[in-house]
Chains A and B, each alone.
Chain A
Amino acid sequence: MKPYDLPDARGHFGQYGGTFVAETLIEALDQLKAQYAKYQFDPEFRREFESELKHFVGRPSPIYHAKRWSDMLGGAQIYFKREDLNHTGAHKINNCIGQALLAKRLGKPRVIAETGAGQHGVATATIAARYGLECVVYMGSEDVKRQAQNVYRMKLLGATVVPVESGSKTLKDALNEALRDWVTNVDNTFYIIGTVAGPHPYPMMVRDFQAIIGQECIAQMPEMAGRQPDAVIACVGGGSNAMGIFYPYIEHEKTRLIGVEAAGEGLDTGKHSASLTKGVPGVLHGNRTYLLQDENGQIIETHSVSAGLDYPGVGPEHAYLKDIGRAEYVGITDDEALKTFHECCRIEGIIPALESAHAISYATKLAPTMSKDKVLLVNLSGRGDKDMHTVSMKSGLSFFCHPECETGRNVAAAARGETVSPISIVRK
C-alpha cells in the first residue's frame, strides 16, 4: 500500500474525523494544533516523554508468550503485549503523560478529563499529581456509583471528581461536560481526552502518544517469535489501545489488524457497544465516525460488562480503517469475555481487565483455526484489579471491600437465628 499519512491537515481520515465543534472551541483547538505541531518532533519534548515512559511508567512493557494456553488450544501461538504492567495498570498513562507535557509547555495550570470506568481519570490524576497541576475529572453519576474504588483512587491522588447528572449519566455525558468546562475555562485549562476520538487534533495526537505500544512490538516480536505477527488483536471502545498497537502495523500488509468490540448481551439484542459493527456514520463529540444512534439521529445508550468499552462512538481512524478494509472489527459478548477472564487467571496467572479479556477471547477463538506456526499478538491493555466487583457479582460470589460492608446482611441473618460467617468472600 502507499505510505499511510492520515489524517490530512484538517484532521480528516477519509470522510471521518474533522472538527465538528461550536465556534467557541475553535481557538483552543487551533492553539493545541499549533503547539502539538511545534513539539511533536522536538528532540527535547521527545526526550522528556521517553524518559517519563521509562522511569515513571516502566516501559518498554514486555511481550509474553502464552504458551500453556496456546498449547491447550492447539493452534496459533498467542502473545500478549503487557500494557497491564504499566504504572496505573493500563495503557492510558502513555497518552496522559504526552498531553500533560504539552499542558506544562502551554503554561496551563489546570487539566480536566472525562472518564467512564475511571482508568483514564486515574491516569490523569496521577500525572497531574506528578506535575503539580490542578485536576478535575468528569464522570457520569452512574459510573461514579459503579466504580467507587477508582473514584477513591482519584481523590487520593488529589483530583476533584465531578459527577455528571445529564443525559444517560455515563461516559458520553462526562465528555460533553468536560467540553463545556473547557469552553468556559479555556484560558487556564488543558483538556486531556482519553481516547482517539474528539475533534482534531485529538484522534491523531492520542494515537501518536499511544503508538509507542506498536513501535515496541515491532522491535520485540522478531526476538520473541522470530517474526512479526500474522494478526494483531485489540479491544475497541473509543479505540486508543487498538490504534496504539495498530498504527505502526498499518503498512505491514501481511499482518491482519483485528479490533474487538463489546457485543454485550449479543449483537442483535440492542444491548451492546459495537459502534463499528452495528452503527452508522454520524457526528458526535467533534468528529464524524460510526455511531450507535436511533432513526432520528439521537445517540442511544450502550451496554457492556466492561465500562471501558461502553461508548456509542469510536475513534474516526478506526472508521476509516474499517471502510478501506485494512482492519476487521468483530464482537465478543459479555459472557464470552467473562469466561476468558477466568481462563486467563487460571491458565496464565494473569488477571486481565475485562476490556482486554474481549481481545484475548477473540484470539482464543481464532487460534484453533490456524496452524501452530502462526502468531497472534494480543494487546493486554490493562490489568483486572478494577473489575473485582463486577466479576465477583457476575460469578455469583459476594465480594466485600471491607468485612464491615457485610454487617447489614449479618444482622439480618442473626435475626433469623442463622450462623454468621466471618469471612468476607462467600458463595451465594
Chain B
Amino acid sequence: MNRINTTFSALKSSRKTALIPFITAGDPTLDSTLPTMHALAKAGADVIELGVPFSDPMADGPVIQRSSERALMKGMSLRKVLAIVAEFRKDNATTPVVLMGYANPIEAMGREVFVAAAASAGVDGVLVVDYPPEEADDFSAVLIARDLAPIFLLAPTSSAERVQAVGRLARGYVYYVSLRGVTGAGNLDVADVASKVAAIKAIVSVPVGVGFGIRDAATARAVGAVADAVVIGSALVQTMFDAPESEIAQTGGAWLAKVREALDQ
C-alpha cells in the first residue's frame, strides 16, 4: 500500500490534520536537502513535498522562483532529486515523499523512465503543476501502475465538473489552492477556504490538503480545522534561506515543530 494512504489512514484514526512541508530540492544548498528532510520528518511532517526546480516556474511566487533559480545554479536536476529520495529512504521507510514540479524535466527524462526511477527511489506521489487532468490521462495511468499517486491541484475557480474529473484521477490527496494567485501570496480568506473545502470533500474521496498562502502557525491552525492536510512552502523556504548555512536543517525542523504544535492544539 502506498505510504500516503497509510499515513492518512493513521491520521484519520487519531483525528489529526496532516502537516505537509514543501522545500525546493537543492536549496539553500545542495547538501542541506537530505538532512532537512530528516529534520522535517522528526519535527512532525506527515508527508514531505520536494520541489523539483524548473527554469520557468509559472505558478510560483517570488520566494519559490528564487529558490528554484538558486538550486539550478548549483546544478540540481530531476535525476539528483531522485538520488536524494533514494538516500532518504535508507533511513526513513515511512514518511511519504511527493515530488512537485513542472512537466518539462519529466518529459525530457521520458515519462516511463521517470516513473520507474521514481518508484525505485521510493517516491510516493507526483504533482505536475502544468498537467491538469485533461493533459494527464496517460501519465496518471503510468503512475498508478507503479503504485505512485498522481496528485492534482484544485482552485477556487474549479467547477463542480472539474472537481469530479480530478476526483476520478486523483490518488493520495488533492491539493486545494487556497487563493487566486501564485505560491506564497498573502490574501487567504479562511471562511472562504472552509466552504470550498467542504464542497470538494462532498465530491472527492481522497483527503483534501490546502496550500498556497499559509505562512505561519496561526493560519495553519485555522486552515487545519477545515482541511485534512495543510501544505506550507514559501514561508519555510524563506526561513531556511535566512538561516546560517550550518543550521539549515535544524532551523527548518524547529520552525516546522512550532507549526505542528499549533496544529495539534
Contact = CB atoms under 8 A, between A and B. Distances in A.
Given A23-B152, A26-B162, A298 B135 contact: no
A186 interface: yes
Nearest to A186: B180
Interface string B56-83: 1111011001100100100001110000
Contact of B59 (A22, A173, A280, A298): A22
B79 A296 contact: yes
B54 A298 contact: yes
Interface in A20-48: 20-24, 26-28
A23 B132 contact: yes
B157 A180 contact: no
B135 A19 contact: yes
A377 interface: no
Contacts of B78: 296-297
Interface stretch (A63-71, A262-270, A285-293): A285-293
B225 interface: no
B103 A20 contact: yes
A218 interface: no
Nearest to B158: A23
Interface string A160-171: 000000110000
Interface string A180-195: 1001111100000000
A21 B157 contact: no
A10 interface: yes
Contact of A282 (B65, B107, B153, B182): B107
B54 to A, nearest CB: 7
Nearest to B136: A20
Contacts of B155: 22-24, 26-27
B132 to A, nearest CB: 6
Contacts of B180: 24, 183-187
Contacts of A19: 132, 134-135
B69 A283 contact: no
A160 to B, nearest CB: 19
B154 interface: yes
Contact of A21 (B55, B72, B107, B132): B132
Interface residues of B, number: 43
Contacts of B6: none
A390 interface: no
Contacts of B107: 281-283, 297
Contacts of B54: 297-298
The prevalent SS among residues of A at the interface is mixed
B196 to A, nearest CB: 13
A354 B103 CA distance: 34
B1 interface: no
Nearest to A280: B108
Contacts of A283: 102-104, 107, 130
Contact of B153 (A20, A22, A167, A291): A22
Contacts of A183: 59, 180-182
Given A183-B180, A283-B130, A296-B77, A24 B153 contact: yes
A134 to B, nearest CB: 18
B165 to A, nearest CB: 10
A176 interface: yes
B241 interface: no
Interface in A122-152: none
Nearest to B175: A23
A18 B103 CA distance: 13
A284 B56 contact: yes
B248 to A, nearest CB: 23
Nearest to B212: A24
Interface in B148-195: 152-155, 157-159, 162, 166, 177, 180-182, 185
A154 interface: no
Contacts of B79: 296
A373 to B, nearest CB: 47
A253 interface: no
B56 A20 contact: no
B106 A297 contact: yes
B129 A298 contact: no
B132 A297 contact: no
B131 interface: yes
Interface in A44-82: none
Nearest to A173: B56
B56 A299 contact: yes
A27 B131 contact: no
A286 B134 CA distance: 12
A298 B77 CA distance: 9
B104 A282 contact: yes
Given A19-B132, A21-B132, A298-B72, A180 B58 contact: yes
A115 B105 CA distance: 26
B109 interface: yes
A291 B56 CA distance: 13
B159 A22 contact: no
A166 B65 contact: yes
Interface string B192-236: 000000000000000000000000000000000000000000000
A175 to B, nearest CB: 8
Nearest to B153: A23
A25 B113 CA distance: 29
Nearest to B177: A24
A186 B61 CA distance: 16
A378 interface: no
Interface of A: 10, 18-24, 26-28, 166-167, 172-173, 175-176, 179-180, 183-187, 280-286, 291, 293, 295-300
List the 8 closest A-B pairs by CB distance, nearest first. Answer: A297-B108, A27-B157, A297-B105, A23-B153, A283-B103, A22-B59, A184-B181, A296-B77
19 contacts: A20-B130, A22-B177, A23-B152, A24-B155, A24-B157, A24-B177, A27-B159, A172-B56, A173-B56, A180-B59, A180-B61, A283-B104, A283-B130, A286-B130, A293-B104, A297-B78, A297-B104, A297-B106, A297-B108
Given A176-B58, A179-B58, A180-B61, 7 more contacts: A22-B132, A23-B155, A26-B157, A180-B59, A183-B181, A183-B182, A184-B185
